[in-house]
Amino acid sequence: MSKVLGTSTAPGGFRARLADAWARNDSLLCVGLDPDPARFPGAMRGRADRIFDFCRDIVDATAAEACAFKPQIAYFASQRAEDQLEALIAHIHERNPGLPVILDAKRGDIGATAEQYAREAFERYRADALTVNPYMGMDSIEPYLAWRDRGVIVLCRTSNAGGSDLQALSVEGGERLYQRVARLVAGPWNTSGQCALVVGATFPDELADVRRIVGDALPILVPGIGAQGGDIDASVKAGRTTDGTGMAINSSRAILYASAGDDYAEAARRVARETREAINRARRQV
Amino acid sequence: MSKVLGTSTAPGGFRARLADAWARNDSLLCVGLDPDPARFPGAMRGRADRIFDFCRDIVDATAAEACAFKPQIAYFASQRAEDQLEALIAHIHERNPGLPVILDAKRGDIGATAEQYAREAFERYRADALTVNPYMGMDSIEPYLAWRDRGVIVLCRTSNAGGSDLQALSVEGGERLYQRVARLVAGPWNTSGQCALVVGATFPDELADVRRIVGDALPILVPGIGAQGGDIDASVKAGRTTDGTGMAINSSRAILYASAGDDYAEAARRVARETREAINRARRQV
């Protein structure tokens, strides 16, 4: 079952590569790549054929501030830009060996179909990790785990208002659904240490809950700071591990669209650095 | 918010087009298109560039037996065959005006990203309906509902063994999670009559549960017969509406791979017809 095809860019598992990136760049910042041509600067505006160019400039400007990049596949798929996504991830790997790329696609399907999604994410796009949805259960996660050097990041508590519709329901045993998901993913589903979780920054108390449930073993991908309004200090305090790491804190739009002018790459670098530094101040508070 | 772009192939909403197809073809059979080149017949075997050709032949052979086609996007995405998927759906629309195409992608993400997935499914691929995942709640469903003439088919109870991990949990109020999803989708989430549900054929008692909860208003997409072993008689008895319709019962592999020889299209037609007739016998039993 083990599939190590040499498409990855560095030895070791996803978890190890992420830890290396935390240390090497002194950063817990994940830069999200959600390219919307309508918001591109200057002469690029509205041009879907410039998605690669825009994202490459953002990547090159911010790579030294980041522990990971997270392209969101919907922004590419809606523009027929799958080829640009392939080229972008190849570019990230080539320029930044070992820096993890998380493909945000929130996949969820049964075994035979999940195997196809795994090939798409890990073979075609050469992602280091993929976000997935837990609703269909453990056997919808297993096909991804066959790719031993890749990570599987399971949705647990999401940052949108409607996230509470199901995730906050009390389930048998007295815990809430997102707590049950955290316990399953950290326990029986995490057969080979490849799993991580998604917990939004908009609910710091619940982020702290999840960290208590999973201990220091699982990385947590935290969207929702920046444009979505999550608080950095509260999120870091709630989600950090004992050694002050354990998180990939994502910011997308606040970095990508920091300037609508020709200085967009420099502005992205500045916002990424400020965000990295704000995270670092918070993680080093006693 | 309403988006009617003229990309659909027939007037009326998804629900109306599906009902027309039930009547016109006297069929509740949905033909699933999960093309795996390793299983293609004869000289096509192993050739990802023949995905369109193989699926076109299956479509043309089975369209008169079907109420809908359901391409599964992972089988195209893993093979870099997005262009073939576009061409295939265009072909279905051209040859079979009004026959619904359900894009099986099980999307789930927050608003701004869900809007991109909606553009992908409804504008790029011209699907009549899309399968989506409920884990992220109502606001992750709403962006699709802005496309008034399209359907949104929400995962409720899935046919895989692991489906029970979360879906069968008892939640506050005493019902199970899948029952809560059915109640939400039939009630507050179904603001404009565009919603439907996915309930697997492998749990007929739970399919009957869902039909009781949602009444006759919601169509139910039922995967899991054929290769997955679900029982046609039990499923139809459990899921039909008062007038003996209300379902799109999916079969994929049993039809696609009915023969590995040059007679694959004719074999697919024969299995599709037999399946349609078995469904019809069951739906007309008192």
| pLDDT tens-place string over residues A217-248 | 999 999 988 766 679 999 999 999 999 999 99
Give the tens place of pLDDT for each residue, B71-91: 999 999 999 999 999 999 999
Give the burial class of B80: count Cβ atoms within 10 A of its Cβ; 0-12 exposed, 13-18 middle, 19 or more buried: middle
How close A34 comes to chain B (CA, Å)?
8
Q: What is the mean pLDDT of residues B19-29?
A: 98
**Which residues from chain A sit within 8 angstroms of residue B172, using beta carbons?**
169-171
- Interface touch A133/B138, C-beta < 8 Å: no
Q: How far apart are CA B42 and CA A222, in angstroms?
A: 49
Residue-level pLDDT at B12 = 78
Reference A166, options A189, A134, A188, A190; nearest CA is A134
Query: Min CA distance, A285 vs chain B (Å)?
Result: 32
Q: Nearest residue on chain A to B108, judged by CA atoms? A: A106
Q: Which of A116, A141, A166 is nearest residue B135 as measured by Cβ atoms? A: A166
pLDDT at residue number A36 = 97
Nearest to B215 by CA among B182, B189, B169, B248: B182
Arithmetic mean of pLDDT, B21-30: 98
Cβ separation B110–A75 shorter than 8 A:
no
Element housing B199 (H / E):
strand B195-199
Interface test with B, best of A70, A123, A160 (most B CBs within 10 A): A160
- Tens-digit pLDDT profile for residues A21-57: 999 999 999 999 999 999 999 999 999 999 999 999 9
Is the pLDDT at B121 greater than 80, yes or no? yes
pLDDT at A8: 44
pLDDT < 50 positions in chain A: 1-9
Q: Pick the residue with more confidence: A151 or B217?
A: A151
Q: Mutation test of the interface with chain A: which of B51, B73, B75, B78, choosing the one with the most A Cβ atoms within 10 A?
A: B78
Mean of pLDDT over chain B: 94
The band of B1, judged by pLDDT with boundaries at 50, 70 and 90, is: very low
- Closest chain B C-alpha to A97 CA, distance in angstroms: 24
Distance from the A99 Cα atom to the nearest Cα atom in chain B, whole angstroms: 24
* Domain boundaries along the sequence of chain A: 14-283
Cα A215 to its chain centre, rounded Å, is 19
3.40.50.1970, 3.40.50.1100, 3.20.20.70, 3.90.550.10: CATH of B14-283: 3.20.20.70
* Nearest beta carbon to residue A78 from set B124, B133, B136: B124
pTM above 0.90, yes or no: yes
Active site residue B3: no
Examine the predicted complex and report whether its ipTM is higher than 0.90: yes
Q: What is the pLDDT of residue B285?
A: 84
Please indicate whether, in this complex, the C-beta atoms of A172 and B170 are within 8 angstroms of each other. Answer: yes
**Nearest residue of chain A to residue B163 (CA atoms):** A136
Q: What pLDDT is recorded for position A14?
A: 97
Contacts of B232 (CB under 8 A, 6+ apart): B201, B225, B249, B275, B278, B279, B282
Q: Tell me if residue B55 falls in helix, strand or coil.
A: helix
Q: A108–B164: do the CB atoms touch at under 8 Å?
A: no
The distance of A118 to chain B (nearest Cα, Å) reads 8
Yes or no, beta carbons of B113 and A137 under 8 Å apart:
no
CA torsion angle B227 A134 A70 A118 (round to 10): -20
Tell me how close the Cα of B134 comes to any Cα of chain A, in angstroms.
8
Residues of chain B neighbouring A124 (CB-CB closer than 8 A): 77-78, 80
Residue whose C-alpha is closest to residue A199's, from A150, A233, A161, A247:
A247
Cβ contact B113–A165 (<8 Å) = no
Query: Quick one: closest CA in A to B114, which residue?
Result: A74
Average pLDDT over residues B185-189: 97
Tokens found for residue A85: 């996504």
Q: Does residue B198 come out as left (phi exceeding 0), alpha (psi in the -120 to 50 range) or beta?
A: beta
Q: What is the dihedral of CA A102, A105, A109, A111, to 10 degrees?
A: -30
* Spatial separation of the C-alpha atoms in residues A251 and A33, rounded to whole Å: 9
Chain B interface, best mutation among A84, A124, A166, by max B CB count within 10 A: A166
> Is A116 in Cβ contact with B161 (below 8 Å)?
no
Residues of A in contact with B155 (CB under 8 A): 108, 135-136
Please list the alpha-helical segments (H only) found in B147-244.
Answer: 164-167, 177-186, 204-214, 232-239
Of A74, A164, A169, nearest to B120 by CB-CB distance is A74
Residue B28: the pLDDT is: 98
**Probe site for chain B from A135, A199, A221 (most B CB atoms < 10 A):** A135
Residue the block writes with tokens 């699982």? A218
- Residue B5's pLDDT is what? 40
Strand pairing report for A102-107 and A195-199: unpaired
Contact list, A168 vs chain B (CB under 8 Å): none
Neighbours of A37 (CB within 10 A): 17
DSSP secondary structure string for all residues of chain A:
-----S-SSSSS-HHHHHHHHHHHTT--EEEEE---GGG--GGGTT-GGGHHHHHHHHHHHHGGG-SEEEEBHHHHHTTT-HHHHHHHHHHHHHHSTT--BEEEEEE---HHHHHHHHIIIIIIS--SEEEE--TT-GGGTHHHHTSTTSEEEEEEE-SSGGGHHHHT-BBTTS-BHHHHHHHHHHTTT-TTS-EEEEE-TT-HHHHHHHHHHHTTSS-EEE--BGGG-B-HHHHHHHH--TTS--EEEEE-HHHHTS-SSTTHHHHHHHHHHHHHHHHHHHHT--
